[in-house]
Every structure is written in structure tokens, then in C-alpha cells.
Copies of this chain bind each other. A is one copy, B any other.
Amino acid sequence: MAIEHAILVSLLEQPGSGYELARRFERSIGYFWTATHQQIYRALKRMETDGWVDVREVPQRGRPDKKEYSVADLGRAALTSWLHDPIEPESVRHDLAVKIRGAAFDDPSALIREVDRHRQAHTDRLARYLAGEERDFADRTDGGPYGPAHAERELQHAVLRGGIAYERMMIAWLDDVLATLHRFRPER
């Protein structure tokens, strides 16, 4: 998987500039795929060279012009081909878990503040996801028509439900970790 595919999906959902993409990667897409503006601008340049995207200069009032990108046929073909390729189940990378195991060789209770901070971050994210769900998917149209636009919405919702499940799981686990760490507090 490369960042290109995430960009293609995002541009198919809605054409936009590198800057707009960068902001989507801070929310929405960014919930499961992070990228900096640097990665995005470089990838867009490559994709333009390869004919995956079309560019259109859009003059704006009150702010600099932007280059609006949209997916070209070649890009769409590249996405389709990637969609049909199997991918490896992802490998996680949880610094916090390393810290927790490392805490055994330091003062375990010193980690409580840190774990608390992470718990707070996940609580905040959960709240944002739930607000987004309320905003975008509140109406119960689950018996409605199954056209292409409907698929887009339904699948976005399914991914969002994944984010919600993930955050809930993390909060519960961090509570478990906190309880464990508290058992190692020095007795007074």
C-alpha cells in the first residue's frame, strides 16, 4: 500500500488541492491513514507525471490560487488494480505497549500520568467520531436504495464504525492498564 491509493480514494470522494487533502488527512481519511503535507505534495507530483490525476488551476479570491486535482482514467485503473490485489494484514506499532513493558524496569507507577494522557486522547477522538457519525449518518436510511452513491456513504460509515470500535477498545484497555499500574504504587 502506498499513499497514492489513499489519495486516489480521497480525490474520488471529492476532488481537491494538496492543501485540502492534507486537511482531510488530519480528519476523516487521517483516522486510519496519516500523511504530512510533504508526502501529499510529492505524491501528487508523481501521480501527475504518471497521468493518474488531472490538474486544474483554480484562482481564488482572498487567498492564493490552488491546484485542484481530480482522478484521471489511469489513476482509476491503478486503484482498481490495487483493490483486486490482496494485501497483508497490517502490522501494528504501539509505542505505548513498549513503554508499558519497559515500565517493569523503572517505576511502573510513573507511567500512570502518561497512560492517563493517552486515555484522554482516545476519549477525545471517540467524541469526535461520535459527533461525526451523528452529523453525517444520523438518518436511518439503511433500508433505502443501493446505488453507487449509497455504497460510498455506507462504506464510509462502516469505516467510521471501525474507528469508534477501536477507540472504545483502547479506552477499556487503558483502564485495565491503569488498574494494573495502580497496583504497583508504593504503599504509604
A104 on the interface (CB 8 Å rule)? Answer: yes
Count, chain A residues at interface, CB 8 A: 70
- Say yes or no: B117 contacts A31, CB within 8 Å: no
Contact residues of A between 66 and 96, Cβ < 8 Å to B: 76, 79-80, 82-84, 86-87, 89-96
CB of A138 to closest CB in B, whole Å: 18
- Residue contacts A-B, CB under 8 angstroms, 24 given: A8-B102, A12-B102, A29-B98, A32-B93, A33-B93, A33-B95, A33-B98, A76-B105, A83-B103, A83-B110, A83-B111, A86-B114, A87-B95, A87-B99, A89-B118, A89-B122, A90-B94, A97-B162, A104-B151, A151-B184, A154-B180, A154-B184, A158-B176, A165-B172
